[in-house]
Structure 1
Amino acid sequence: MGILEKLPNLTTLNLKNQAFKENTKILVFSKEGFPSLQYLFVNGMFGITKWRVEEGAMPRLCRLNVVFCFGWTTLPDGLRYLTNLRELTIIGMCRELHRRIQEDGEDFYKIQHVPSLVIGESLQ
């Protein structure tokens, strides 16, 4: 991730289940990382249990899709800093995460600024 997030012209990133070493548990998007990224698709990050987005990361991100990341029980607090985010799709995540991001959930404040929210079915 350290190398990818420094690429100045990267606008689209598709991270899939085998993208990281088996022992990787935390996905970190650093401050000032991914300066031109507009679209991020995260799919099947089975080994990842925590995702951190630091303030200042992905300043141009406008579309985010997160699907089938079963180990995630919450979304990163840093999503609230993504002021250009216009579309967020979350599908096939655990019930705990889905509960937390409902309008009355404790994590809804992280995504309430996003105009288009698509929250699909949760999994066990």
Structure 2
Amino acid sequence: MGMLEKLPNLTILKLIGDSFEGNTKILVFSKGGFPSLEFLYVSRRHQRTELRVEEGAMPRLCRLEIQYCWGLTTLPDGLRHLTNLRELTIKWMSRELHRRIEEDGEDFYKIQHVPSLVIGEPSAKI
């Protein structure tokens, strides 16, 4: 990720599967990283238990899609800082995560600023 987040013209990034980043269970988007990224797609990252978005990361991100990341039980607090985020899609995640992002859930405040929220059904596996 360290090399990718420094690419100045990267506008679309798709992270699929668990082969990326070795054995770490945390996927970190660092402050100042991904300066031009507009669309991030994260899928099938089963071993990841945490996404971390530092303040100042991905300042141009306007579309985020997360699916099949069954290890995630909470959304990153840093999503609050993605002020250009216009569309967030969450599909086939754990039931606990889905419970937390409901309008009265503990994590809803992190995403309430996003104009378009597409929340699919939780995964049948968990």
Structure 1 match to 2:14: 14
The whole-number CA distance in structure 2 between the counterparts of 1:55 and 1:63 is 17
**Residues 50-100 of structure 1 deviation map (CA, whole Å, 9 limit, x = unaligned):** 110000000000000000000000000000000000000000000000000
Aligned length: 124
8 Å Cα contact 1:62-1:86 kept in structure 2: yes
Higher deviation after alignment, 14-23 or 63-72: 14-23
Residue of structure 2 in register with 1:43 after alignment: 43
TM-score for the superposition, normalised by structure 2: 0.96
CA distance in structure 1 between the aligned counterparts of 2:23 and 2:2, rounded to whole angstroms: 17
Q: Percent identity?
A: 72
TM-score after normalising by structure 1: 0.97
Runs of 4+ displaced beyond 4 Å: none
How big is the shift at 1:22? 4.4
Q: Distance in 2 between matches of 1:4 and 1:105?
A: 33
What is the root-mean-square deviation in Å for CA atoms of aligned residues?
Answer: 0.9
Q: Which runs of 5+ in 1 are unaligned?
A: none
Any residues of structure 2 matched to 1:21-60 within 5 Å, and which?
21-60=21-60
- Show structure 2 runs of 5+ residues with no match: none
The 8 Å contact of residues 74 and 107 in structure 1, kept in 2 or not, is answered as yes
User: Structure 1's 102 and 48: CA in aligned 2 closer, same or farther, altered over 3 A?
Assistant: same
How far off its partner does 1:18 sit? 3.6
